C-alpha cells in the first residue's frame, strides 16, 4: 500500500489528528483527555522515578505521502509535567503532487513543564513537506524542546536532488511572539550550499530552552556538546535560549541534542535527566 501511495499521489490521503490534555491531580500528572482521528495515537503514559508523565507519539504508517495531514494538539494544564518523544524518525516521502503537512500546537500552562524531544524528520528526495509548529507558554512555564531535520538518505543513494520544504516555528510567551523561524526552499536553492545557510550540511536542528539566562547559554557552549561537532551557536532571546546545530551525521546531531537536554534539564526543568526508555531500544 505504501508503494502505491508514493507512486500514485492522491489515491490515499489521510488526515490524522491527535488531541491530548494533561492535568495535575493528586500530586501527579495524568492524561485527562485524549481523542484521535486516523492513524495517529499514543500508548499508555509512562512514569519514571521523577514522576514526569512520558508519552510516545505513534504514527503507524511510518511516513507521510502526498496530501497527508498530521495534526497534533497538546494542552498541558497548570502544574502538569510532560515529556513527549517518538519511537522513530518521521518521514516525508516523495510526492509528485500535493504537499504533505504536519501541524503541531502545544500549550504549556502556569507552573507546568514540557519536554518536546521527537526523533528527527527525514525529508526524502522529491518530498513536498510543510511543517508548522507553535508553542504557547505561560510566563512561568518551563520548556525544553528540539527540532531536527535530515535531507535525503545518503547511505541509500538519496541525496535530496529535488524536493521542497516550508517550515515555520513560532514560540509565544504570554501570547507575545518571542521566536518566529521560517525555512522555505527548493532542493536546488543556494541556501543549502551557501556559507550563510546550511553550507552543504545534510542534517541540522534547533534546541530551545525557557526560562534561560546567560548562564544557560554558557553551559551549552562549554559542555561536551561541542565535542560532537554539531553545535554551531547559542543565542539568548529575552528568556528563551536558541541553539542551532548542523552536521553531516544524523548520529552526531542526535548526540548533540541529547547532550543539550541533559545539560539543560536540571536548570530549566529542575530535575535530573532520566532518558525515556524508548531511547534505549
pLDDT (tens digit, 0 to 9) for every residue of the chain, 281 residues total? 223 333 334 446 789 999 999 999 989 999 999 999 999 999 899 999 999 999 999 998 889 999 999 999 999 999 999 999 999 999 999 998 899 999 999 999 999 999 999 999 999 999 999 999 999 999 999 999 999 999 999 888 999 999 999 999 999 999 999 999 999 999 989 999 998 888 899 999 999 999 999 999 988 887 755 555 666 689 999 999 999 988 888 888 998 899 999 999 999 999 999 999 999 87
Q: Are 112 and 256 in contact (CB under 8 A)?
A: no
Residues facing 204 on adjacent strands: 149, 246
For position 231, what pLDDT does the model report?
Answer: 61
Retrieve residue 159's grid coordinates: 541525496
Q: In what order do the strands lie in the sheet with 100-108?
A: 28-37, 15-25, 69-76, 100-108, 128-137, 164-173, 176-186
Q: Which residues contact 274 (CB under 8 A, 6 or more apart)?
A: 48, 49, 50, 52
pLDDT computed for residue 272 by the predictor: 95
Alpha carbon distance 121, 183 (integer Å): 14
Pairing of strands 231-237, 128-137: unpaired
Residue 13 CB contacts under 8 Å (≥ 6 apart), including other chains: 65, 66, 67, 68, 69, 98
Buried b (16+ CB within 10 A) or exposed e, 193-212: eeeebbeebbbbbbbbbbbb
Whose CA is closest to 21, among 63, 60, 74? 74
pLDDT of residue 196: 86
Length of the chain (residues): 281
What is the model's pTM? 0.92
Nearest to 145 by CA among 83, 209, 88, 82: 209
pLDDT at 235: 93
Amino acid at each position: 500500500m505504501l508503494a502505491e501511495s508514493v507512486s500514485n499521489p492522491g489515491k490515499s490521503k489521510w488526515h490524522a489528528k491527535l488531541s491530548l490534555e494533561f492535568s495535575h491531580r493528586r500530586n501527579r500528572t495524568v492524561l485527562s483527555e485524549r481523542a484521535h482521528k486516523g492513524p495517529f495515537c499514543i500508548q499508555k503514559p509512562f512514569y519514571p522515578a521523577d514522576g514526569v508523565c512520558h508519552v510516545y507519539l505513534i504514527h503507524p504508517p511510518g511516513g507521510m505521502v502526498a496530501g497527508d495531514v498530521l495534526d497534533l494538539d497538546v494542552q498541558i494544564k497548570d502544574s502538569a509535567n510532560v515529556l513527549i518523544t517518538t519511537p522513530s524518525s518521521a518521514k516525508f516521502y516523495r510526492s509528485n503532487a500535493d504537499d504533505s503537512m504536519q501541524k503541531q500546537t502545544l500549550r504549556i500552562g502556569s507552573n507546568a513543564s514540557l519536554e518536546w524531544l521527537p526523533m528527527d524528520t527525514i525529508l526524502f528526495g522529491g518530498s513536498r513537506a510543510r511543517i508548522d509548529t507553535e508553542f504557547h507558554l505561560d510566563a512561568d512555564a518551563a520548556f525544553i524542546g528540539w527540532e531536527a531535520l535530515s535531507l535525503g538518505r545518503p547511505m541509500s543513494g538519496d541525496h535530496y536532488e529535488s524536493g521542497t520544504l516550508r517550515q515555520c516555528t513560532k514560540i509565544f510567551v504570554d501570547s507575545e511572539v518571542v521566536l518566529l523561524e521560517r525555512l522555505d526552499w527548493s532542493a536546488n536553492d543556494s541556501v543549502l550550499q551557501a556559507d550563510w545557510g546550511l553550507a552543504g550540511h545534510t542534517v541540522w536542528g534547533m534546541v530551545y530552552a525557557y526560562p534561560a539566562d546567560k548562564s544557560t547559554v554558557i553551559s551549552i557552549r562549554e559542555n561536551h556538546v561541542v565535542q560532537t561537532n554539531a553545535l554551531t551557536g547559542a543565542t539568548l532571546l529575552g528568556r528563551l535560549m536558541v541553539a542551532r546545530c548542523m552536521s553531516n551525521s544524523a548520529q552526531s546531531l542526535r548526540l548533540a541534542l541529547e547532550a543539550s537536554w541533559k545539560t539543560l534539564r536540571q536548570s530549566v526543568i529542575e530535575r535530573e535527566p532520566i532518558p525515556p526508555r524508548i531511547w534505549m531500544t
